[in-house]
Amino acid sequence: MYSVTVRDHVMIAHSFTGEVFGPAQRLHGATYVVDLELSRPDLDADGLVVDIGRATSALHAVLADLNYRNLDDVPEFAGQNTSTEFLARVVFDRLVGAIGRGELGSQASGLERIRVTLHESHVASAAFEGRVSASG
């Protein structure tokens, strides 16, 4: 399996519900470094997994909708703890949508899997990985 990884970042604010979260129940900020890994079994006719520039642009566009937002105020996330794991799936689903709309170019038709990793810090991260065609 071949893969290409691109990276960006996003800054958000949010709070959690539940004693398990301790002080994170209060409003706090997070800056995530986000890695997008795109995989396919064979390279395309040009020797590529996918165009890196298009992949970078697609990741940036998905993150732009979340950047500098208080996720507690986003109606789509009402009643949901926007944990790092949860956000990895949100970014994954939105990127699968971008691939389906052709935003990553014709090479993306050969993609089988993508993995989205959100790094909370230099020692902690969470990820979601799934098939492109099945959204997980």
pLDDT in tens, 89-108: 999 999 999 999 999 998 89
The answer to whether residues 129 and 115 touch, using CB atoms and an 8 Å cutoff, is yes
pTM, entire model: 0.93
Fold of 2-131: Tetrahydropterin Synthase; Chain A (3.30.479)
Question: Residue 136: pLDDT above 50?
Answer: no
Give the pLDDT score at 131: 95
Mean pLDDT, the chain, integer: 94
CA distance 108 to 25: 39
What is the CB neighbour count within 10 angstroms for residue 50? Answer: 27
CA distance 31 to 34: 9
- AA letter at 124: A
Question: Residue 127: pLDDT above 60?
Answer: yes
- Return the domain boundaries, the chain: 2-131
**Residue among 88, 85, 81, 89 at smallest CA distance from 19:** 81
The answer to whether residues 45 and 54 touch, using CB atoms and an 8 Å cutoff, is no
